[in-house]
């Protein structure tokens, strides 16, 4: 056995993924020009906004960060990553406050919810179906904390644990115009996340033209003010004008709450300083560009225990931190053309005429 070399390690924090809760409108969106979640025929736009603010106050972000992520998380109030140049740190997330949330719900519905009462005040204000993707043990803990907190302010949460093969056609591939009732293929809420990009492009999540099945505006946001702001973000030639438009957008997001941002996890990396070919920035870690000699060892420091190293059944966030540095994919998408693929582990591939059989030729040395 070779004697290990003495090494100096460098700790690198990379904030990579924004986790958020999407709550939908309760009627088909073509008839609605409101922004954000929870449309009720008998409520005013101000009432609906108060409901969204109440939900925002009831999300236990600090508890999730401390108990689930062991402190490796950041509260944010913007869909732009906290380490992005367009991020505005002056726009802060609401603090957890169920008292304030209950006050807002009482104003909207005319009575104070009392879970322990035996009269009508014990009835929840409304029910919601909240979809949680299977495959991540941490989301089980998140869902439990969020569900318990929303229940305490009078919202009956019915958690629906679904595999992605069910989630995708129900949410991302739904034809425009389908109602949101659960029985008709819709949903009320969905916990998911996305990784930001260096271009800070959030238009895919907020422009009307990007409703499913054509884009990722899965909240069916339809707001001319937002479209105008994002037009300036995308089309302004001067960076200062783009940043100004981004600030307007972030203020609008905080004021209107189309989605509910939960937090932004921090991934903690420890690496051998002699590892070759690594340039550290705050973008998503790109393992494909890492090269190393036989003596180099890369260590991933995880906020939790590794449970399973089988990539087909691994579910925990901690497992995935390790697995994405060990395994790679057959193909990759071009970043500027996500519908076009190029070979990664696969050198080339052919498809049978009935498209049921795919044959991949793996690169030499794999």
Count of residues in the chain: 366
State the pLDDT at residue 271.
55
Please check whether residue 116 is in contact with residue 122, taking contact to mean a CB–CB distance below 8 angstroms. Answer: yes
pLDDT at 33: 37
Q: CA 104 → CA 66, 67, 97, 101, 113, distances in Å? A: 27, 28, 11, 5, 11
What is the set of domains in the chain, with CATH numbers?
13-265 (3.10.105.10), 331-366 (no CATH)
Report if pTM > 0.85. no
Residue 163 CA: distances (Å) to CA of 113, 134, 135, 166, 194: 34, 5, 8, 6, 18
Regions in the chain scoring below 70 on pLDDT? 1-18, 23-41, 135-136, 175-180, 194-200, 267-305, 315-318, 321, 338
Non-local (6+) Cβ contacts of 122 within 8 A are 113, 114, 115, 116
Cβ atoms of residues 78 and 91 within 8 Å? yes
* C-alpha count within 13 angstroms, C-beta hemisphere, residue 42: 3
The predicted structure's pLDDT at residue 234? 84
- pLDDT number for residue 302: 63
Residues 135 and 191: beta-carbon distance below 8 Å: no
Question: For residues 260 and 214, what is the distance between their CA atoms, to the nearest angstrom?
Answer: 23
Q: Summarize pLDDT for 205-222 with one digit per residue, the tens.
A: 888 888 888 788 888 888
- What pLDDT, on a 0 to 100 scale, did the predictor assign at position 180? 64
């Amino acid at each position: 056995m070779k004697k290990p070399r003495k090494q100096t390690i460098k700790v690198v924090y990379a904030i990579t993924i924004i986790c958020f809760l999407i709550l939908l409108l309760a009627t088909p969106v073509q008839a609605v020009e409101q922004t954000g979640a929870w449309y009720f025929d008998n409520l005013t736009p101000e009432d609906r906004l108060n409901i969204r603010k109440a939900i925002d106050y009831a999300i236990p972000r600090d508890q999730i960060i401390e108990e689930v992520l062991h402190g490796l998380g950041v509260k944010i109030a913007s869909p732009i990553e906290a380490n992005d140049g367009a991020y505005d740190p002056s726009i802060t997330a609401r603090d957890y406050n169920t008292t304030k949330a209950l006050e807002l719900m009482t104003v909207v519905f005319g009575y104070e919810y009392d879970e322990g009462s035996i009269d009508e005040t014990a009835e929840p204000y409304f029910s919601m179906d909240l979809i949680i993707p299977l495959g991540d043990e941490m989301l089980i803990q998140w869902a439990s904390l969020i569900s318990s907190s929303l229940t305490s302010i009078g919202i009956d949460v019915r958690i629906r644990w679904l595999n992605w093969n069910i989630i995708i056609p129900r949410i991302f591939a739904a034809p425009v115009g389908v109602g949101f009732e659960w029985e008709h293929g819709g949903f009320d809420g969905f916990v998911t996340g996305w990784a930001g990009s260096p271009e800070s492009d959030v238009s895919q999540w907020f422009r009307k033209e990007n409703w499913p099945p054509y884009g990722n505006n899965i909240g069916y946001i339809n707001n001319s003010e937002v479209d105008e702001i994002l037009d300036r973000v995308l089309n302004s030639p001067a960076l200062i004008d783009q940043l100004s438009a981004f600030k307007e957008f972030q203020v609008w997001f905080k004021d209107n709450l189309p989605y509910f941002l939960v937090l932004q996890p921090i991934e903690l990396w420890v690496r051998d300083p002699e590892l070759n070919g690594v340039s550290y920035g705050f973008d998503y870690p790109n393992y494909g560009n890492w090269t190393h000699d036989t003596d180099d060892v890369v260590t991933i420091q995880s906020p939790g225990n590794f449970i399973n190293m089988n990539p087909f059944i691994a579910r925990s966030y901690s497992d995935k931190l390790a697995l994405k540095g060990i395994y790679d994919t057959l193909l990759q998408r071009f970043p500027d053309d996500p519908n076009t693929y190029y070979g990664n582990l696969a050198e080339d591939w052919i498809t049978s005429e009935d498209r049921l059989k795919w044959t991949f030729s793996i690169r030499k040395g794999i």
